[in-house]
Structure 1
Amino acid sequence: MSLSCISPIPENFGSNFNTHLPHLPTMLEPIFPIALKFEEVVYKVKLEGEKCKEKTILHGVSGIVCPGEILAMLGPSGSGKTTLLTALGGRLRGKLLSGKITYNGQQFTGGVKRRIGFVAQDDVLYPHLTVFETLFFTALLRLPSTMAHEHKVGQVERVISELGLTRVQNSIVGGPLVRGISGGEKKRVSIGQEMLINPSLILLDEPTSGLDSTTALRILSILKAMADGGRTVVTTIHQPSSRVYHMFSKVVLLSEGRPIYYGPGSTAVDHFSSVGFSTTLTINPADLLLDLASGIGPESKHAMEQGENMEKEKKQVRDALILAYENNISIKLKSDLCTFDATTYNWNKDASNVARKDIKGEQWCTSWWHQFKVLLQRGMKERRFEAFNRLRIFQVLSVAILGGLLWWQTPESHIEDRIALIFFFTVFWGFYPLYNAVFTFPQERRMLIKERTSGMYKLSSYFLARTFGDLPLELALPTAFVFIIYWMGGLKPDPIIFILSLIIVLFNVLVAQSLGLAFGAILMDIKPATTLASVTTLVFLIAGGYYVQQIPPFIVWLKYLSYSYYCYKLLLGVQYHENDTYPCLKMGKWEWCKVVDVPAVKSMGLNHLWVDVCIMGLMLVGYRIIAYLALQRVRMR
């Protein structure tokens, strides 16, 4: 029995796609069949804390998957299924990966990447977007700019119809804290995101994980229809039902990273029976395969026991299965790999031209400006609930009103209280946006990796869209805050001074937010990022010029790193001038004293304000550049 592809494809293969999936659109280019071949794939990882020590995850796995077939990777947890799938998707690179993976006889290229859909095990979706919005924004980013807008909308509607999502298309996706659609519907949305690009090869990691048997069967039925339409489908699956198992064209069974079976799913039980692992029970073939991959024989009486004897028995079973694979399957598979003719599946002339264009020229389906606009629109839709939720508005407004009551119409003679109010502006809007910004990139890390790995957009378009998209959301609350507390506190009732004070506070908000983004992007972990933010804010608070006015010379440089210091000085410089006076009590008499003689003002000074503006501007730009460079280091996996 040959384990390679059954027969060459006809010339019109892929053009009959719509006869298999009648709901899918005809405006996309035809499917260009991809035959996937992988030979002796080995992958190792370096052990942390141990120099020059490596652990082998995959031990020489080989196979062929042709258009129209579904290859299922079976095995217990930790057997290397996801690692192999990731390698086949071109997402594992470096010296630790060896072997040969080809697509129609070609190496992995940008053109091949465009025709691969990858569905991760976890459904990484924005919780506040509806199903239609999720797929629509994906279509805008992943479908070529040459396609008309109405065709993209039609593509989304047809995918929604094909996946049976019409009933929930206007429902939000939901997440851990937001109620939304069901787990099976989320999985179909994730598959739909890949179906939008009409992939030739689709890879899925545990698409039925956490789903009931009926929903799992529906997911596999969708994949079977996609394969029948000319696609190559590869999926990992943990414990399929018997109905699901019989949909697989081929099966790869892994045990601790080693292959112990490769071939049609229908002949797997016969193979293991022929090597002495038969069972008299009528069971799901997948259950038998998983037991054997775990080292448990079908007639084992110690399946639930633990101990040294059990581990020895498991090792004996695995060794026997590996030997049987080498003797009965591996030799035939190597012969099939050598004789397999990948040129049968070479793309036609038009497809080759498209591939060459992908490789040599345009790397992105859409322009930078288009990506920026779509990401800006999507970001504002997703975060509108987060930025203007009731709790956050209540928090800011209550602090503003309470602060206004505490500083209610502070008279000019109480200049220390006025200065304290000015410093409060600096403190609150120097630290509040910083803590909010720290969460930004760590929370979006998985989404960023998923979309960037799929080649949806450039990092610069994402970063700038995130930056500009946050402006109206992040500046609205501090504006309301200043409007309330400035006039309630009795500061100078000059419209020009008020506007300048507002601009300085908003400037401070942007600088603080930039530092928070940098912390989050560098660490990409919320706990250490918030810890670092706490330490930094405390240092900036103490060195801000209000609490400690005479800092020792050996550490005086610390205040020049604090944006709170510059914001505080600018607010003082706007509110007061060198010649300003205020009524003060001296020797029991009221006199007019100079503002510059007040210790808090004298230690700060009221000169060189433009220098302070420039320094804060450098901080704003510098922190954002650091955040951008840190995001480039995020592991694209």
Structure 2
Amino acid sequence: MTSNSVVPTSETATTATTTITTSSPVEMVKPHHDHARSPSFLHLVLYPITLKFEDVVYKVKTKRNGACEKTILHGVTGKVCPGEILAMLGPSGSGKTTLLTALGGRLTGNLSGKITYNNKPFTGSVKRKTGFVTQDDVLYPHLTVTETLLFTAMLRLPESLSQNDKVEHVERVIAELGLTRCKNSMIGGPLFRGISGGEKKRVSIGQEMLINPSLLLLDEPTSGLDSTTAQRILTTIKRLASGGRTVVTTIHQPSSRLYHMFDKVVLLSEGSPIYYGPASTALGYFSSVGYSTSITVNPADILLDLANGIEPDAMQEYEQGENTENEQKLVRQKLITSYDTNILTSLKAELCSLDITNNDHAKEASTRNHVKSEQWCTSWWHQFKVLLLRGVRERRFESFNKLRIFQVISVAILGGLLWWHTPTSHIADRIAMLFFFSVFWGFYPLYNAVFTFPQERRMLIKERSSGMYRLSSYFLARTIGDLPLELALPTAFTIIFYWMGGLKPDPATFILSLLAVLYTVLVAQGLGLAIGAILMDLKQATTLASVTTLVFLIAGGYYVQHIPPFIVWLKYLSYSYYCFKLLLGIQYNEDDLYECSKGVYCHVADFPAVKSVGLHNLPVDLLIMATMLIGYRLVAYMALQKVR
């Protein structure tokens, strides 16, 4: 077969540089009266993107020996034009997702080759015109479909659009994707039932459609779906492509109905391309190089067999174990050689001979919007407000749940009963009570905060990769959003425990004690956030938190009062030590006395547990805790910057 029958040569003639005006990703199917409802959004221009990738090679270092490299992609080349769907086919582990990630500008490491968008490299402007739908649907389970899309619209659409425009735009996307029936249903998660898998996939696509993308990348959009749902998803994608978008998708095992909806196909075998060209001519090409079949079968099945090194009519021998691994390697090598001879040469020549005038037009269109696109489309304050509101909505069920409230209140009541109105002469019990305050509210918020960032790692990566918001706005909104519960529960605990325990019945002393507890809560929360952000793994983070809290407990100044000099520095790292010292300093001063035996009074400052920490230099302790408060959060923020 000639190379011209494999690689189309005129596919960009009509769409490569045509400027398409549209109000939204669904304008081509929305009712005409919508044109009068949202005029500001109607005149946004969709800039078509012609995607080219030449000799893309990607290597990774093996874990066993960092000096060795494994090549994941072996010189993949191709082109996709506006209005086309390019499907990447191949067995598991063939490099489909890696190539898609590289095309989306999200792949770091040893990547070589040339990937261009209208003959320009990947930039922030291209990033904000690109929609990327991951294989796994990363969505907040407690938000409804409408809330999910609306918050995305508020973050990704420019502030020049009014709130009503964004709401109408979300409603149009919901209608276009067939989500009207479930728009008020929660997404759902592992612990409770929500919308179906197909509906979740359409919500994920809808999140990307909100920005009216010029380039849409989808990783296994039909994975785990039944054939009817998969057909509906791909029909939607086909309709989106017809609006002038460039669409690239990976797909594992498409049915024949799905296969014939693709315009182009890239077939990968262990990272090496063995076919690129129109989907309709793939079987003809393989027949021309000696791999024809005598039976009628799904073309995708034939292509995947070939990618695995199995000849079309040799499946029976493969199933019986007669088709050896060496034979499969020979088939793959022959297909790679045929690709280099029959497809690659003419494909590279075509990429070099694209119409210069068309490229200039695309470049000019891109330049007109370059300055604006490079900037964040929303302000820092707007991002913070939206993220804070979204966080409160998402965690409204888990934060103020009855179990956590019961846990804290029950411990407060039980502790109050155990220390019920402790006499001032029982100095050991009263000091133990104060130490319990510092320990419980030094560790409880730490363990809660450890889960914060590891649980949101996938969401953070997804949204940051899309350029949805600044990390600083997310970090501040996420930490502030947790404060109501983090401060409400210790306040209730202190109110109950303090008065039941019979501590100093003075309002000023009570308020200072409460402030010391809340201060410790914020410091402990910061350490938990830092541990979680650094490790980003729940098991490792909880293990490190357990070791840390155990060390802080022992070095807190109550259990061990004469720490050896070579390890005494440990107690100065423990915020429980400083909290314990502050609570003692609030309750007592160096002149206070207690009845150490009948008729004999001793100084509180001389009691061993008090003497080991002291009642002086409290302002210095406050400054040290302030340093911890700020330092832990800075560490957490810097750790999040490295999350990829």
Is the pair's TM-score, using the shorter chain for normalization, greater than 0.5?
yes
Instruction: Give the C-alpha shift of residue 51 in structure 1.
Output: 3.6
Question: Which of 453, 460, 480 is equivalent to 1:448?
Answer: 460
Are the equivalent residues in 2 in contact too, given 1:142–1:366 (CA < 8 A)? yes
Aligned to 1:622: 631
Cα distance in 1 between the residues matched to 2:12 and 2:140: 43
Cα distance in 2 between the residues matched to 1:525 and 1:342: 50
Paired residues for 1:589-600 under 5 Å = 589-600=598-609
Amino acid at match of 2:566: F
**Alignment partner of 1:320 is 2:334:** yes
Q: Once the two structures are superposed, what CA deviation does each residue of 1:133-183 show, in whole Å capped at 9, x if it has no partner? A: 111111111101111111011111111111111111111111122321111
**Alignment partner of 1:192 is 2:206:** yes
Are the equivalent residues in 1 in contact too, given 2:83–2:245 (CA < 8 A)? yes
Report the 3-state secondary structure (helix = DSSP H, G, I; strand = E; otherwise coil) of the residue aligned with 1:593: strand
Aligned to 1:521: 533
**Alignment partner of 1:8 is 2:13:** yes
Sequence identity (%): 70
Structure 1 window deviating more from structure 2 (449-458 vs 590-599): it is: 590-599
Question: Which of 366, 369, 372 is equivalent to 2:378?
Answer: 366
Cα distance in 2 between the residues matched to 1:617 and 1:256: 55
**Alignment partner of 1:59 is 2:74:** yes
Cα distance in 2 between the residues matched to 1:397 and 1:67: 61
Report the 3-state secondary structure (helix = DSSP H, G, I; strand = E; otherwise coil) of the residue aligned with 2:45: coil
Instruction: Give the C-alpha shift of residue 19 in structure 1.
Output: 6.5
Aligned to 1:213: 227
Q: Once the two structures are superposed, what CA deviation does each residue of 1:570-597 show, in whole Å capped at 9, x if it has no partner? A: 0011011122222332xxx333332222
Q: Once the two structures are superposed, what CA deviation does each residue of 1:67-101 show, in whole Å capped at 9, x if it has no partner? A: 1100000000000000110111111244x111111
**Alignment partner of 1:633 is 2:620:** no
Cα distance in 2 between the residues matched to 1:332 and 1:12: 26
Question: Which of 161, 184, 195 is equivalent to 1:181?
Answer: 195
Q: Once the two structures are superposed, what CA deviation does each residue of 1:354-378 show, in whole Å capped at 9, x if it has no partner? A: 124334xx2x111111111111111
Task: Pick closer, same or farther for the CA change 1:494–1:342 going to 2, 3 Å.
Answer: farther
Question: Which of 272, 275, 281 is equivalent to 1:267?
Answer: 281
Paired residues for 1:250-399 under 5 Å = 250-300=264-314, 301-306=316-321, 310-341=324-355, 343-344=357-358, 346-347=361-362, 351-359=366-374, 362=375, 364-399=376-411
Instruction: Give the C-alpha shift of residue 514 in structure 1.
Output: 0.6
Report the 3-state secondary structure (helix = DSSP H, G, I; strand = E; otherwise coil) of the residue aligned with 2:113: strand
**Alignment partner of 1:607 is 2:616:** yes
Amino acid at match of 1:46: K
**Alignment partner of 1:558 is 2:552:** no
Are the equivalent residues in 2 in contact too, given 1:302–1:310 (CA < 8 A)? no
Q: Once the two structures are superposed, what CA deviation does each residue of 1:588-617 show, in whole Å capped at 9, x if it has no partner? A: x33333222222112221111111111101
Question: Which of 84, 87, 91 is equivalent to 1:76?
Answer: 91
Are the equivalent residues in 2 in contact too, given 1:404–1:485 (CA < 8 A)? yes
Are the equivalent residues in 2 in contact too, given 1:387–1:474 (CA < 8 A)? no
Cα distance in 1 between the residues matched to 2:357 and 2:139: 38
Amino acid at match of 1:171: S
Paired residues for 1:40-59 under 5 Å = 40-59=55-74
Question: Which of 237, 261, 271 is equivalent to 1:223?
Answer: 237
Cα distance in 1 between the residues matched to 2:288 and 2:438: 78
Cα distance in 1 between the residues matched to 2:637 and 2:371: 31
Amino acid at match of 2:113: G
Report the 3-state secondary structure (helix = DSSP H, G, I; strand = E; otherwise coil) of the residue aligned with 1:387: coil
Task: Pick closer, same or farther for the CA change 1:368–1:306 going to 2, 3 Å.
Answer: farther
Paired residues for 1:456-471 under 5 Å = 456-471=468-483
Gaps of 5+ in 2: none
Cα distance in 1 between the residues matched to 2:355 and 2:427: 87
Cα distance in 2 between the residues matched to 1:527 and 1:435: 12
Report the 3-state secondary structure (helix = DSSP H, G, I; strand = E; otherwise coil) of the residue aligned with 1:248: coil
Are the equivalent residues in 1 in contact too, given 2:59–2:70 (CA < 8 A)? yes
Aligned to 1:484: 496
Cα distance in 2 between the residues matched to 1:356 and 1:373: 25
Report the 3-state secondary structure (helix = DSSP H, G, I; strand = E; otherwise coil) of the residue aligned with 1:302: helix
**Alignment partner of 1:20 is 2:28:** yes
Report the 3-state secondary structure (helix = DSSP H, G, I; strand = E; otherwise coil) of the residue aligned with 1:297: coil
Are the equivalent residues in 1 in contact too, given 2:89–2:266 (CA < 8 A)? yes
Instruction: Give the C-alpha shift of residue 560 in structure 1.
Output: 0.6
Instruction: Give the C-alpha shift of residue 348 in structure 1.
Output: 7.8
Cα distance in 1 between the residues matched to 2:356 and 2:406: 64
Amino acid at match of 1:14: I
**Alignment partner of 1:475 is 2:487:** yes
Amino acid at match of 2:123: T
Amino acid at match of 1:486: Y
Structure 1 window deviating more from structure 2 (422-431 vs 42-51): it is: 42-51
Structure 1 window deviating more from structure 2 (347-356 vs 150-159): it is: 347-356
Structure 1 window deviating more from structure 2 (465-474 vs 296-305): it is: 296-305
Task: Pick closer, same or farther for the CA change 1:190–1:179 going to 2, 3 Å.
Answer: same
Q: Once the two structures are superposed, what CA deviation does each residue of 1:209-265 show, in whole Å capped at 9, x if it has no partner? A: 111111100110110000111111000000111111110000000000011111111
Instruction: Give the C-alpha shift of residue 45 in structure 1.
Output: 0.8
Are the equivalent residues in 1 in contact too, given 2:26–2:173 (CA < 8 A)? no
Q: Once the two structures are superposed, what CA deviation does each residue of 1:188-226 show, in whole Å capped at 9, x if it has no partner? A: 111000000000010000000111111100110110000
**Alignment partner of 1:167 is 2:181:** yes
Gaps of 5+ in 1: none
Tell me how many residue pairs correspond in the alignment. Answer: 627
Instruction: Give the C-alpha shift of residue 306 in structure 1.
Output: 4.9
Cα distance in 1 between the residues matched to 2:571 and 2:357: 68
Are the equivalent residues in 2 in contact too, given 1:4–1:340 (CA < 8 A)? no
Instruction: Give the C-alpha shift of residue 6 in structure 1.
Output: 2.2
Amino acid at match of 1:209: S
Amino acid at match of 1:578: E
**Alignment partner of 1:87 is 2:132:** no
Are the equivalent residues in 2 in contact too, given 1:160–1:166 (CA < 8 A)? yes
**Alignment partner of 1:500 is 2:512:** yes
Task: Pick closer, same or farther for the CA change 1:19–1:366 going to 2, 3 Å.
Answer: closer
Are the equivalent residues in 2 in contact too, given 1:14–1:230 (CA < 8 A)? yes
Are the equivalent residues in 2 in contact too, given 1:5–1:64 (CA < 8 A)? no
Task: Pick closer, same or farther for the CA change 1:553–1:13 going to 2, 3 Å.
Answer: closer
Task: Pick closer, same or farther for the CA change 1:343–1:384 going to 2, 3 Å.
Answer: farther
Are the equivalent residues in 1 in contact too, given 2:513–2:586 (CA < 8 A)? yes
TM-score (norm 2): 0.94
Amino acid at match of 2:20: G
Instruction: Give the C-alpha shift of residue 319 in structure 1.
Output: 1.4
Cα distance in 2 between the residues matched to 1:580 and 1:319: 89
Aligned to 2:444: 432
Question: Which of 515, 520, 523 is equivalent to 1:511?
Answer: 523
Report the 3-state secondary structure (helix = DSSP H, G, I; strand = E; otherwise coil) of the residue aligned with 1:299: coil
Amino acid at match of 2:477: A
Task: Pick closer, same or farther for the CA change 1:188–1:286 going to 2, 3 Å.
Answer: same
Cα distance in 1 between the residues matched to 2:212 and 2:26: 12
Amino acid at match of 1:371: Q
Aligned to 1:33: 48
Instruction: Give the C-alpha shift of residue 283 in structure 1.
Output: 1.0
Cα distance in 2 between the residues matched to 1:54 and 1:158: 48
Are the equivalent residues in 1 in contact too, given 2:26–2:172 (CA < 8 A)? no
Are the equivalent residues in 2 in contact too, given 1:104–1:343 (CA < 8 A)? no
TM-score (norm 1): 0.95
Cα distance in 2 between the residues matched to 1:305 and 1:422: 74
Structure 1 window deviating more from structure 2 (562-571 vs 400-409): it is: 400-409
